[in-house]
Structure 1
């Protein structure tokens, strides 16, 4: 049962290496970095972690082909793969908050599909070229030092994005989600694209990742998680078809965020918080993670900030949560 960590790109030089080494020592399977709008570029933290580690899988979840050309995504992923000794994956997603920089994606899923086709063709190194509605790669064009297809992850909540993942990806990540009910929903949505491509939906990994705050002080952990998750809840909560939210919850959160208030998350009910974040003491986090495993998730990604102190939060996850998880309780997969 792969368990990975997700880091925000807001740290000082050297901090990424320290956290990645810690993750490897604690037997996590990988570390992803986010590529949220207006944060630092992800490639420098990824290379820093690649140089400091030997085993863990590394990647960006996710690069955005609306703000970065697929050539640059492929080239940076190839660089990471070479510097990590073959441990890289490529994550792609539409992203959020793009209006603020004047980017308004049209037909985003078609654009993502086009980006996947271009990136696959360039990375595999056979020079076969690619011709899509937006992106084109001439026959014979190859990267100078890379010729290996990398695993593709698509980040998406919606049915069209899931169908794309079923058709072309190795994994789909539901970012900001800790809801077991979304696993079955996503698996059925994957099946649409998988069937059209002659693939099995069970062969595409379903990844759930969300804000994580673990602490011996349960109340402190959940209070911080509420503050951290408020900004994301505004974007993603209405995308979950299995959840009935209080009717005034999202409008009130949006209003408080718009007014610059730091109490936007205080109104999030406990049951809603547990669907969109991992929050509490080790018992809480272990129970949430085991619930996802039992529901058939293929990978869990514990996201930033991990704790009131990030390194200590990661230690608690590695020492107090990972040993309690039991893949044997999960229903037998069809893969």
Structure 2
């Protein structure tokens, strides 16, 4: 099966920017466009609908929504709207969510929440009127969506790193995304945890590409520090220098992101970001392709500027990939 190459966009841009970037990405040959669902950014549905109107081929989806900040019936409605607007090109990404304590949202029983959210969404999209009684979510008998859907079963992606989340993806999903990783050594780990060869593995991370490779890597270091403390401890294949996460966390807390980035060694950067010249970024992506991923997702900010990054990824990175 041909490996897909996608772009992951942060939802922090003005109206019109998403359409322009989406058209450029589709023209360059990208297969999938994802919009992150990070806390306090624009809801993904806004950029996704804009991109749906501007494209005709690429798959589109949020990566990811969560059942704590959005009820499953609303998740079903948003993916149904995107699927209708894109004429059957939508996918749905679900994850437990991160940093929700900042808005006072507890996250009890995440596996139960995700499992039941999937069940509710699927029943609603399929028009099942039998009702559902879960431990966290329920549908009364006769409760159905009051509008037509384009498809009853858009593809489902689960965002997860750990064994239990991966096993859930193996049972209910079409894909699993390991967010914040560019590490090919994680692919066999995730494959063993998923336990289902039909589920595609997606790896995606911060990406900064430029003909000035050193400038690209310096910017990537600054971008990575925001989530290094979240994901570094989830990767069993990486040994970090003693005290690195604590030092980075302290500096980020003071707003010293560039200073924090300078602490990250090259070998650590290459596990948690795609960065450098087009040849360097292509080599990192090819290592993931060779390891057996179904999709590589180049995450924001893409380059020293959005437009230049997308242009270089399409014109100078994609042609180097064997997939």
Q: State the TM bucket, normalised to the shorter chain.
A: over 0.9
TM-score (norm 2): 0.97
Q: Work out the CA distance in 2 between the residues paired with 1:172 and 1:239.
A: 15
Of the candidates 43, 49, 66, which is equivalent to residue 47 of structure 1?
49
RMSD: 1.0
- Any idea what the Cα deviations from partners look like across 1:7-65, whole Å, max 9, x if unmatched? 00000000000000011100100100001001111111111111111111000000011
SS at match of 2:256: coil
Residues 1:254 and 2:256 aligned together: no
Of the candidates 158, 162, 170, which is equivalent to residue 158 of structure 1?
162
SS at match of 1:213: strand
Structure 2 stretches of 5 or more lacking a match?
A: none
Q: Work out the CA distance in 2 between the residues paired with 1:23 and 1:274.
A: 24
Q: Report if aligned partners of 2:18, 2:51 keep a CA contact under 8 Å in 1.
A: yes
Aligned partner of 1:311 in structure 2 is 307
Q: Report if aligned partners of 1:152, 1:170 keep a CA contact under 8 Å in 2.
A: yes
Do the aligned partners of residues 173 and 277 (structure 1) sit closer, same or farther apart at CA in structure 2, a change above 3 Å counting? same
Q: How does 1:12-23 map to 2 (within 5 A)?
A: 12-23=14-25
Q: How does 1:163-242 map to 2 (within 5 A)?
A: 163-191=167-195, 201-242=196-237
Shift of 1:276: 0.3
**For this pair of structures, how many residues does the alignment match?**
318
SS at match of 1:62: coil
Structure 1 stretches of 5 or more lacking a match?
A: 192-200, 328-335
SS at match of 1:6: strand
Q: Work out the CA distance in 1 between the residues paired with 2:280 and 2:107.
A: 38
Q: How does 1:77-92 map to 2 (within 5 A)?
A: 77-92=79-94
Residues 1:149 and 2:153 aligned together: yes
Spell out structure 1 runs of 4+ moving beyond 4 A.
none
Q: Work out the CA distance in 2 between the residues paired with 1:142 and 1:45.
A: 27
Q: Work out the CA distance in 2 between the residues paired with 1:77 and 1:156.
A: 20
- Any idea what the Cα deviations from partners look like across 1:67-121, whole Å, max 9, x if unmatched? 1111111101100000110100110011211121112212211211111111111
TM-score (norm 1): 0.93
Shift of 1:324: 1.1
Aligned partner of 1:4 in structure 2 is 6
Q: Report if aligned partners of 2:221, 2:269 keep a CA contact under 8 Å in 1.
A: yes
Of the candidates 276, 298, 322, which is equivalent to residue 318 of structure 2?
322
Q: Report if aligned partners of 1:122, 1:129 keep a CA contact under 8 Å in 2.
A: no
SS at match of 1:87: coil
Q: Work out the CA distance in 2 between the residues paired with 1:238 and 1:216.
A: 32
Q: Report if aligned partners of 1:173, 1:206 keep a CA contact under 8 Å in 2.
A: yes
Aligned partner of 1:60 in structure 2 is 62
Q: How does 1:99-114 map to 2 (within 5 A)?
A: 99-114=101-116
SS at match of 2:262: helix
Q: Work out the CA distance in 2 between the residues paired with 1:311 and 1:95.
A: 28
SS at match of 1:25: helix
